[in-house]
Structure 1
Amino acid sequence: MAKWLFKSEPDVWSWDMQVAKGDVGEEWHGVRNYQARNNMRAMKIGDQGFFYHSNIGKEIVGIVEVCAESHPDSTTDDPRWDCVDIRAVRPLARPVTLAEVKDDPRLQEMALVKSMRLSVQPVTEEEWRMICELGGIEP
């Protein structure tokens, strides 16, 4: 299974709001970047991702799972834009801040560091393991 990172501004869509959706999950809509869209098109049911609070907090706070593969984004009539549905799996025992990620030499190639603006990013298995370790959970 592939690993990902989903960015959201917590004043727009927070971890708590994602958790409140339960097993049904929520459409990860509104993405208007081709690379992020293509990342979602590559996702499979069961793929997991980190839930990242951008702008406010700037920290990885939980793990989500893809529960519906790529489909048309319901927030637009433009056929170019797709999205996936995700559901919350579990919080990290402790959030991992962007500053911690940037300060860790093992994570310098992570998309979160190198492609800061990309809202849906791939995460390598090694990066996944390290972030889980920093967040106090088993990968």
Structure 2
Amino acid sequence: MRRFELDPRLAADTGAIGTLGLCTLRLMNDRRWPWLILVPQRNDLSEIFELTPLDQTMLTFETNLVAEALKAETGAVKINVAALGNVVSMLHVHVVARNPGDANWPGPIWGHGTAEPYGTDELTETCERFARTILKA
């Protein structure tokens, strides 16, 4: 079995938080929204239905775990979950905390404005905070 390789675009646009059972968990480097990304550690897949039934179950479990923790951590009014893959085809799931008044509320986050990257220290600290909350690290 080939070692898992994260798409270089996902690696460039995110910070590493840690690994759950199936997925690697990452933070999108855009401070406008608390925005986490789950990437199933399976190469050459672009759709959820391509996962085995057990992996589909694990992805659902991990998505719900992350969504619940993100809502508790941020106090968000709404958690958006999506697996688009139109730009980066590698299977990944976006979990985004939304609140009235945030950038483009209530519209979608995709294609809205310009990303506002975290500073290097802030990205590291934010990833570590989510690791403590979600991974209990």
TM bracket, shorter-chain basis:
under 0.3
Q: So what's the TM-score if we normalise by structure 2?
A: 0.27
Tell me the TM-score normalized by structure 1. Answer: 0.27
Question: Which protein has the bigger strand share?
Answer: 1
